[in-house]
Amino acid sequence: MQVQTATIREATENDLEAIIALFADDPLGGHGDTTDPQALPDYSAAFRRIATSANETLYVAELDGEVVGTFQTMVTTTLTARGSSSLIVEAVQTRADMRGRGIGAAMIAFAVEKARETGMHLVQLTSNAVRTDAHRFYERLGFSPSHIGFKMKLK
């Protein structure tokens, strides 16, 4: 594996088009993401909600001045585990031509370190059931498939 050092930072609204392109280029996601300019207001509104949330952060991985990956974190606190907080990692995406270069691993390591620094009880994520390569990737990084998730689409 060729490892390249990416800079991981909080996303800005200037990164939005590159982030959207990452999701739109995902044939397995099934989220209907698109680079159609008519959809930009929806993405912009979502970006503003994330950016103003105290518990959510959107990140990008940047290499040679280009956005090559993204992920989002959310902090949730429950009464289980004596009122502990957990970091949820979602929407992990590496640009298709940059996969296998250590960028995804760097993004996950960054999230895990943030969780450690802030005293989180655990880091959790979900992965689409069809993403078997991603499952192996997460297991290699130390995650275990401990739960079964359920979803109910409302729209």
Sign of CA dihedral 100, 106, 112, 116: positive
The lowest-confidence range among 6-20, 25-39, 79-93 is: 25-39
Chain-centre distance for alpha carbon 62: 14
What pLDDT sits at residue 13?
96
Categorize the per-residue pLDDT at 3 as very low, low, confident or very high, splitting at 50, 70 and 90. low
CA 96/CA 145 separation, integer angstroms: 24
pTM of the model: 0.91
CATH class of 7-140: alpha beta
Please state the domain extents for the chain.
7-140
Per-residue pLDDT of 82-119, as tens digits, reads 999 999 999 999 999 999 899 999 999 999 999 999 99
